[in-house]
Each structure stands twice: as structure tokens, then as C-alpha cells.
Structure 1
Amino acid sequence: MPHFAESTSASQDGMAVRAKPSDAAQQEDEARKRHTLVKNRRLRYLEQHPEYFEEQDLELADPLLYDRLIRRFQTTDEREREGRERGYTGSLEADLVRSEAKLEALQHPDPNSLIVYRRAADGSITGVEQDEDERARTKEEGVERWRDFIAQRFVRGGDDDFDYKAVDDNDDYDDRDEQARNDLEAYLKEEDAHFVGDGKPVGETGVQDF
């Protein structure tokens, strides 16, 4: 009995041909390829533009997380310098958003949150990790975790102020070596789709080559 690879069907002359995928399957495949392409381009953009992680307003993406991973390790001089770089208005906005976020976390605690917020004796609101292992131990670890959070947010399209189209539709952010490998794999798969009998390769004439 002739053997055919998966995703193939038998033709009248005994050759195996690739089964034609449905429109829905084709659309799903194209959507998956587009998603991977966009994700890789966004990651490539971050690699080429590390200054993105230094933008001051990124704190507003998650003021509580920034407070735990970055601000708690800053010295007084570092906080003052950050304030000068932001300016009065920017610093006031960051302080206000952070305070409101802490108050919200205190009044409406999230049972799934790793951090619990309590009011201290001096009236300030402080947070502490429920799991001690989740706590950043050093400034370097805090920065690494914060950058990872920002990178994931960027890749999934969470920065509403960023022009993603300028990256998503720009092939300058493609990995040329990876693209070449993908093209070669696609070509080899296409070649492997044509065979007869026990699956041995055939030439264009349909006659088995020796």
C-alpha cells in the first residue's frame, strides 16, 4: 500500500500532493506568522534602542511596581536628580499617581497580588511582599525585573503613547539570519511534499530518480 505523509492526498497517477488547506487554516497560519513577526520586530527595536527603558514616564505604567523595584533602592541624591530631570510638573504627577495607587491598594487589596499594603505609624502607606522569595534583594535585581516588565508590556502593545506601526511594518527590524533560516525550512518542506510509492523523492517528470 502506498505511504503518504500527513497533510497530503493521493492523485490519480499515484503521486502524493499537499492537501490544500482551508481558508480558515490559511488565515490562522498567516495571523500566527504576523504575530511572531511583530513580536520579533518589537524585541529587536528594544535591543537597538535601550534608551527606551530610561524614559521617565514609564513609572506610570505601574507606579507600585516601580516603587518596589526602583525607588526603594534609590539614594536621596538619585531621587533629587530624577526629580530635576522630570521637572516640577512631572514629579508632581508621579507622586500623585503613586499615592493614589497605594491608597487604592490599601482600601481594595488584590487577593492575587504578591504585595500587601499597610499604613505605617507615621501615616505613610508601605508595601511588603507576602512571599519573601519574591522580594528584590539588590538594586541590580530590581532594575532587571523592572526592565523585564517594561519589555513584556512593550511587546504586547501596552504603551499607548508609542507609534507601534513604525516598528511593526518596518523590515529594518527583521533578523536577516533568522529570516534566511525560515525561508530555507519552508523551501525544504515544500520539496518534501512531492513523492510516490514508499515516499522516495521523484523528479519533475514523475519518474523515480536513481
Structure 2
Amino acid sequence: MAPRFDSPPSTPHSFSQPRPRPPRSPGRSAQIRAQNRRRAYLERHNSYFQSSEHELSDPLLYDFLIRRFQTPAEREAEGRAKGYARVLEGSLLRGEERLAKLRERTLMPPPKTREEGLAQWEAYLRDRFIRGEDDDFDYALVDDDDEYDVLDRVDREEAWFEEEDPEWATSGEEGERGKEKILRGETGVQDY
């Protein structure tokens, strides 16, 4: 004898209706807002990636992604621009970091071209900046500036447009169904 089901189950299926996300804490909302502002800042200020100071944030990664694709002339020009002390500092940091990272982790897949290396380096800098790990940058200039709230502005504009009734739908004579306009005269169909 097969089991009999007289009443529907007491709990609805978990996929029957979408469930809203739990509300974020004020601290988490502020963190997300700051990260979004930092992303917007980087989109407007691409020159951030050009600073030679970033090499010191991860000298081994810089060597792995950028320096290996530089020509001897480019390395020499970069060395002159930095000065002897900065070149020596970078070299010492690379040596110390190599030893530490050999035990700690393996590097990402090696880039095959200069462009791939540059893209990986910029991705590293972008993530580092968004996490707030650039000690030389004053994040208050970005985090406290609502000019970089691009996503909030887009959400507000979309909400405004959704609430707005188009003028063509409410102007003119009203028909039986309320605000719908009654068309008279030319309908746009050509008669032959």
C-alpha cells in the first residue's frame, strides 16, 4: 500500500519564492561603500598604476610580472629615474622576499607576454588599493567623498525613472480605462 498524502507539506519549497538577503550591518555597508568609492577613484585616476613606488609593495611580484619583460634599456632608464638608493632598496627587498615566499606560497601562473604581466600587476595593485593596504595613500580623500558614489547615483536615477509616468501615457483625453489616451485621427497605418 502506497503512503497517502492528504495535506500539503507544512514548509514551502525552498526555491518557490526568492528570499531577500538579510540586511547588512552598518559597518559592512560602510566598508562596501568605501570599496566602491575606491573602485570609482581608480577608474578616474588611471595614473595611480604608473607610480614607481608600488614596486616596494611586493618587489618579487613586480620582478616576476614587470621587470622580466623590460629591455635592458628600459631597466637602465627606470634605475636612473629611481636613483641608486631606491634600486638598492628594491634589490634587497626582492632577495629577502624571495626567501620568505619560497616557503610560504607559489606564485601565480607566469605571464607569457608583457601585456599579461602588466594586467596581473595592475590587478594586484587594484585589489591592494581597494582593500586599503596602500600605506602611502590617504584613503580619507576617497572614502569621505560622495562624488565617487557612482552605483548609488545610478540606483537613484533608475528608481526615479521607474516612478515617473511617461507624458505620452497620461496626456490628452482619458478613455474608459483611466489614464490611457484615446487615439484619434491618424493611426500611423497607411491606406492604399
Settle same-fold status: TM greater than 0.5.
yes
Name 2:99's counterpart in structure 1. 103
TM-aligned CA deviation for residue 88 of structure 1:
1.5
> Which amino acid in 2 is paired with 1:96?
L
Q: 1:147 aligns with which of 122, 125, 139?
A: 122
Query: Is 1:173 the counterpart of 2:169 in the alignment?
Result: no
The 5 Å alignment of 1:36-51 reads 36-51=32-47
Percent of residue pairs identical = 44
TM-aligned CA deviation for residue 85 of structure 1:
1.2
TM-aligned CA deviation for residue 84 of structure 1:
1.1
Once the two structures are superposed, residues 95-154 of structure 1 have per-residue CA deviations (whole angstroms, 9 ceiling, x without a partner) of 111122123345xx12xx224xxxxxxxxxxxxx7xxxx221100000000100110000
The 5 Å alignment of 1:116-131 reads none
Compared CA separation, residues 182 and 159, structure 1 to 2 (3 A): farther
Distance in 1, matches of 2:158 and 2:27, equals 16
Distance in 1, matches of 2:160 and 2:28, equals 19
Compared CA separation, residues 168 and 182, structure 1 to 2 (3 A): farther
Q: Which runs of 5+ in 2 are unaligned?
A: 1-21, 164-192
Query: Is 1:56 the counterpart of 2:66 in the alignment?
Result: no
Larger radius of gyration: 2
Q: Which runs of 5+ in 1 are unaligned?
A: 1-24, 116-128, 188-210
Q: 1:94 aligns with which of 90, 114, 123?
A: 90
Compared CA separation, residues 75 and 55, structure 1 to 2 (3 A): same
The count of aligned residue pairs is 140
Please give the TM-score of this superposition, normalised by the length of structure 1: 0.60
TM-aligned CA deviation for residue 184 of structure 1:
5.4
Please give the TM-score of this superposition, normalised by the length of structure 2: 0.65
Distance in 2, matches of 1:177 and 1:167, equals 16
Partner SS state of residue 101, structure 1: helix
TM-aligned CA deviation for residue 64 of structure 1:
1.2
Distance in 2, matches of 1:63 and 1:179, equals 40
Name 1:114's counterpart in structure 2. 106
Name 2:61's counterpart in structure 1. 65
> Which amino acid in 2 is paired with 1:80?
E
Q: 2:81 aligns with which of 85, 97, 107?
A: 85
Compared CA separation, residues 183 and 77, structure 1 to 2 (3 A): same
Distance in 2, matches of 1:156 and 1:47, equals 16
Question: What value does the CA root-mean-square deviation take over the aligned residues?
Answer: 2.3
Distance in 2, matches of 1:157 and 1:74, equals 29
> Which amino acid in 2 is paired with 1:138?
T
Name 2:181's counterpart in structure 1. none
